[in-house]
Structure 1
Amino acid sequence: MGGGSDGATNRATQAENLKQANIGRNVGLVNQVYGGAQREADINDFLEASRSFYRQNLDKQKATADRSLKFAMARNGQTGGSASIDANRQLGQDFQQGVLAADRLAQRAVGGLRDADEQSRMNMISLAQSGADMTTGGTRAAQQLQANLAGANANLTTDALGDVFGGLSKVYETSRNTAAERRGNRDIYNLLYTPGFGQGGR
């Protein structure tokens, strides 16, 4: 009886040891996939792609702001004057702030990707520790990483930067108002000094 009991205990112990060894191996495999050099390279590539994405949006906004400012200054005859210098200085400052904002957005996107990776890594480890079949664990982990990357790319939005050069709107408004006032004054002048104006019919 005792020998049979000891044999059963030994078999149970061996089975448990094998189970724990498999769990340890599977957890190690998951950590290897998630913490590998390839994933870090993927994340660095995503960071650069995110920066490029937001910088392209910033550059488009700046091109529009450059044209609008040039037109506003020319419309009021202020090209090269102090008002033009001040406005262009503000445009340059706004652009630098936009560059910093674009980088912050890219870094935030990478942070979101890392969070998604960590969450899915913990889920995979939980599966492994529960004794689930992880014979294809490496493939599943790699697929999850690709899904996380696709989700991070989908979360990049063109309007995230906002209106970087919105501070110049006052310059454009003043330019439009000044031009309208000048047109109004010109119309009044033309009306008052039109030959025959105010003389009445005879």
Structure 2
Amino acid sequence: MGGGGSSKSTNKATQAENLRQANIGRNVDLVNQVYGSPQREADYNDFLGASRSFYRQNLDRQKATADRSLKFAMARNGLAGGSASVDANRRLGEDFQQGVLSADRLAQKAVNDLRNADEQSRLNMISLAQSGGDMTTGGMRAAQQLQANLAGARAGMNSDALGDVFSGLSSVYETSRNNAAERRGNRDIYNLLYTPGFGQGSR
């Protein structure tokens, strides 16, 4: 009889363990289902597009400023349309293309960081499920975590991340300003020296 009681206890323990493992399996499946949903893939694509747009707008603003600065610099030195202007504009175009690539790299990195954040939180929730944690609201918690990750990724976009894409043209602007200042100085000296009556003294 004692042996029968022991057998019943073993069966109950086995049943309890089987039930626990089944619950864990269901919870893990639920977590994976939420994190691997088609909607989340759509979220990644939307975020990638938004990131590209964000960084491209920053690049376009920089280019507009660089275009104006270069135009004024060339006009200030009487170089508009000349070979120096052509060379400077070619450099600006090359810098812009590099900026486009940098903007895309930043957007790709942003979405990869979001994927990594999702994967880390997915593993955390699976670990909770496997440790027997209460997962009665697991699906809701997973969805909330996904939204938190997306919000964090959006907040992490930095308008300064591109840096000064057209900094290579700064020497052109500086030279232009220096030459203009030198011409103004020479003109002032010329006007002073050749003003009628200058240095003749009073008679």
Question: Which bracket does the TM-score occupy, shorter chain normalised?
Answer: over 0.9
Q: Distance in 1 between matches of 2:178 and 2:158?
A: 34
Q: Distance in 1 between matches of 2:39 and 2:30?
A: 14
Match of residue 188 from structure 1:
189
Match of residue 178 from structure 2:
177
Match of residue 6 from structure 2:
5
Shift of 1:3: 1.4
Q: Distance in 2 between matches of 1:73 and 1:147?
A: 50
Deviant stretches of 4+, over 2 Å: none
Q: Distance in 2 between matches of 1:90 and 1:22?
A: 63
Q: Distance in 2 between matches of 1:162 and 1:25?
A: 48
Shift of 1:197: 1.3
Q: How does 1:38-49 map onto structure 2 within 5 Å?
A: 38-49=39-50
Match of residue 103 from structure 2:
102
3-state secondary structure, aligned to 1:67 = helix
Match of residue 116 from structure 2:
115
Shift of 1:168: 0.5
1:162 matched to 2:198? The reply is no
Q: Distance in 2 between matches of 1:174 and 1:2?
A: 99
**AA at the equivalent of 1:31:** N
TM-score of the pair, normalised by structure 2: 0.98
Q: How does 1:1-202 map onto structure 2 within 5 Å?
A: 1-202=2-203
**AA at the equivalent of 2:35:** Y
Shift of 1:198: 2.0
Shift of 1:8: 1.1
Shift of 1:123: 0.5
Q: Distance in 1 between matches of 2:87 and 2:45?
A: 38
Shift of 1:133: 1.4
Q: Distance in 2 between matches of 1:146 and 1:60?
A: 30
3-state secondary structure, aligned to 1:172 = helix
3-state secondary structure, aligned to 2:134 = coil
**AA at the equivalent of 1:147:** A
Structure 2 unmatched ranges of 5 or more: none
1:152-182: CA deviation from partner (whole Å, max 9, x where unpaired): 1111011000000000000000100110111
3-state secondary structure, aligned to 1:160 = coil
Shift of 1:185: 1.0
1:98-118: CA deviation from partner (whole Å, max 9, x where unpaired): 000001111111111111111
Q: Distance in 2 between matches of 1:198 and 1:144?
A: 83
**AA at the equivalent of 2:121:** S
Worse-matched range after superposition: 54-63 or 191-200: 191-200
Q: Distance in 1 between matches of 2:197 and 2:84?
A: 41
How many residue pairs were aligned? 202
TM-score of the pair, normalised by structure 1: 0.98
Shift of 1:200: 1.4
